Structure 1
Amino acid sequence: MKDLVKHIVAYAELRNVDTTQLCKLSHIDKKALAKKDGPAPTAAQIGSLWANAIHLTRDKLFGLHFGESLRTTALGIVGSIIQSSATVGEALTHAAALVHVITGQCRMEIVQGKGTFKVILTQTTREGINPLMEVFMVIVIHELDGLLLTKITPKAVALPYKVTDPVEYARVFRCAPVKSNGEYSITLSAQYWEEPILTANYQLQEILLQQTSHLPKPDNKTQLLGARIHNYLLANSYLGLASLNDIASNFNMSARTLQRQLKNEGSSYQHIADTVKRSLAEHYIASGNFALKDISWMLGYNELSAFSRAFKKWTGVSPESFG
């Protein structure tokens, strides 16, 4: 759980929270958290961290948005499972058996149905509703995205309570959640079960994550919204760049407010997105590891010609002539 706490703190910083204050309020030693041999935060400290993060970000759906931001870091959780599984069904079965290694706060089981299968997460802690359960559910969906290198759509999502913002939950889970009798579950079409996991997919994910992690990032100390959005887009780029509406929702504001704040900074979402795409495109081309059609696809272009036009607009030269 220590790594997960680090991710919570990092996401809070991305959301412009003073993480020194956040850790102090939560009775967590920030310096010890950064050390490999430092003590792991207690359950009480994690609960306090969660409550303080919600308060400081003014985001009641902090957990939902945090889970959404974990798509790149979450891939590492089941990296070895991906490599040893032939299909999505095998990977999920192995993950269910090993979830206790990742966290002691829930267990996972797979239930087959007619034309569907269900991923059920059961809370193992006794204290009321654990906000991390939503995080784990979103991670499952994003892990499946990573296994297939495409965005999957659940047939149903069930939570043991009535959600406060159905529209936002539907956006993150990609379907409207329903209230269940104590069950956290994700129901998926059986077609996903036998989908093959290609080693090439896993290797591509690893390459993308490694290369984007070494790209220069704006200094978060500037506290500018544009810099924080740039970092978010760069860190979560392996399945294409998030839309304006998704970014605005994750940062707990309307798209109009986000655009207005960026305009006050002399920027825009489109400018930031183009800057990230250009940075990634130049990096991928310079690496010599990818064909142009693959780079075009990775950056979200359906046609190589559209990518070539955009690249020439950014740099003044064609992708073939770059470098």
Structure 2
Amino acid sequence: MAHRGVLPVVAAVVLLTGCGGPQPAEPPPPTAQEKVADGGAETDTDDSHAEDTGEMVVSYEDATTAEAINGRALLQDNTVLEDLAEDVNDSLWLPYDIPVIGAQCDEANAFWDPEEKSMTICYEDADLSQQIFRDAGDDDPDASAINAEIATFYHELGHMAIDLYDLPATGREEDVADQLAAYVLLQPGEDGAPDPESVAAVKDFAREFGAYGQRRGDAGLDDFADVHSLSETRMFNLQCWIYGADPDANADLVASGELPEDRADGCDDEWAKLDRAWSTLLEPHVR
């Protein structure tokens, strides 16, 4: 089940429209003759990214447990990591090759390693996602699990971008990484609206956090002190950004009571600020 690329759409949005709206047209760059006439050196091309020749490289490690074997099959058979890595390679300048590793971790997890400069998606994470959506009675729990893993990948991409590009993160990095996942997946297409499949990925990501909260039970001090916000908070954040990115198409989130009206009232402004922030941060690094 291949998922269509979304970062190329983001690249166009960042370069052409900036913060979600048309920008004043910029004057064309000076010709070589004009540069010489102005006393400047003639330059054929912009070589600011001349050495950024890296790409994401996917590999799958062995799996031995039932959970890992199942999670690996879900990711590999649907070329999830390959499709997402290709998306990034087509869209971002990378300073060197970045391993994207499917691995047995013996826990449900995914992480960016700032020392190894690699991203790992644990097989157990995909397996748990599938189980969560199967328990929820989804008609196609595999599709929902893949959606959640797509959003998980872009969350880890947020950590990667902050590290590789030395970006400022004005907030807890885990929350900011959630913002990047939403930013990428909720960008408007040519029709001015986010792609429904990408919106579904964010919705399933949010649903998964809701399930994590139910599995956890009552929150204790350790949960409040964790580097991650509470699962319920992450769920409501994602729902808010979905609604803020396209209120008309996602009014059902409010009507159903999933997103409280008091929070929904500010979500369009919250989304606009998120969109502007990540557009500004990523612009120098978009192909």
Q: TM-score, normalised by structure 2?
A: 0.29
Q: TM-score, normalised by structure 1?
A: 0.26
More helix by share: 1
Higher relative contact order at CA 8 Å, sep ≥6: structure 1 or structure 2? 2
